[in-house]
Amino acid sequence: MKLKFSKMHGLGNDFVVVDGVRQSIELTPEQIKALGDRRFGIGFDQLLLVSAPERPENDFRYRIFNNDGGEVEQCGNGARCFVRFVTEQRLTNKQSIRVETAKGVIVPKLDKSGTVTVDMGVPHFAPAQIPFVADKEAISYPLEAAGRTVEISVVSMGNPHAVQVVDDVATAPVEEVGKAIESHPRFPERVNAGFMQIVARNEIRLRVYERGAGETLACGTGACAAVVAGIRRGLLDGAVTVHALGGDLTIEWAGEGAPVLMTGPAVTVFTGEIDV
């Protein structure tokens, strides 16, 4: 089968985006893993499969796969690339698009400047909703990982996040500790591990060791989770610039029960066709 795709990125978090509206596509986890190989395949952090919605009031459905082949619930940078993709491919001319994900509908909007703002939905904190093994809900929890005790906040942005505050992201042991947290037994569905440095009440630096992909240059849901965790810990105010390795995002959150808004760029690098 010939598969047409676009190679895209959001701040260097890179994607292969596939049109499942006009092509009929079923990919196995092994095929996704092979396509994701940076030497023998195309290479990407996540593959996004765009298809027709299940419910008529929505515009599209999109499914997200990590480069280890596993399907996940949500992807912030991917949501922005999704909007640019359906616009560039002329699958819609709407500016505000309702898209079904594995964890509900999100509503990204393409701004006139070319950036995309996404309503990423309401964050959740109850251990069962992450899922995270804990006796009761708390703002933060001590966790043993890679021979140290770290203090993490847990946040579900549809997908699971564990965020810790560090003095300096440049020297934080992201690979070692991130890997240990990602597959820690207290996270039965694994987790994305965020390392956040507070620069000011409206500015952070962030690195994320992503579940199923390793450290990426940026993680949209990770940025949302970090800002929400920082606000709940009393360290940040409601609108924050997040400096990721690949560039900046703006994250806004009005507090408990409110949705998180994420604004940032989405770029098409090239289009192609590959045999699968």
User: In angstroms, how far is CA 166 from the centroid of its own chain?
Assistant: 21
User: In angstroms, how far is CA 27 from the centroid of its own chain?
Assistant: 21
| 46 carries a ligand binding annotation | yes
75 is catalytic: yes
145 C-beta neighbours (distance < 10 Å), count: 22
Using CB under 6 A as the criterion, which residues of the chain lie in contact with ligand LBFN2T5F when the complex forms?
Answer: 13, 45-46, 66, 72, 75-78, 159, 192, 210-213, 216, 219-222
Among residues 75, 106, 196, 262, the one annotated as catalytic is 75
Least distance CB 107 / ligand LBFN2T5F (angstroms): 16
User: In angstroms, how far is CA 88 from the centroid of its own chain?
Assistant: 22
Among residues 11, 206, 217, 219, the one annotated as catalytic is 219
Beta-bridge partner residues of 242 = 204, 249
Closest listed residue to residue 83, CA positions, set 94, 71, 68, 69: 94
Least distance CB 2 / ligand LBFN2T5F (angstroms): 27
| 114 carries a ligand binding annotation | no
The span from the CA of 19 to the CA of 93, in Å, is 16
| 66 carries a ligand binding annotation | yes
The span from the CA of 183 to the CA of 138, in Å, is 21
81 is catalytic: no
Least distance CB 174 / ligand LBFN2T5F (angstroms): 14
Binding residues for substrate: 13, 46, 66, 76-77, 159, 192, 210-211, 220-221
Residues with catalytic annotation? Answer: 75, 219
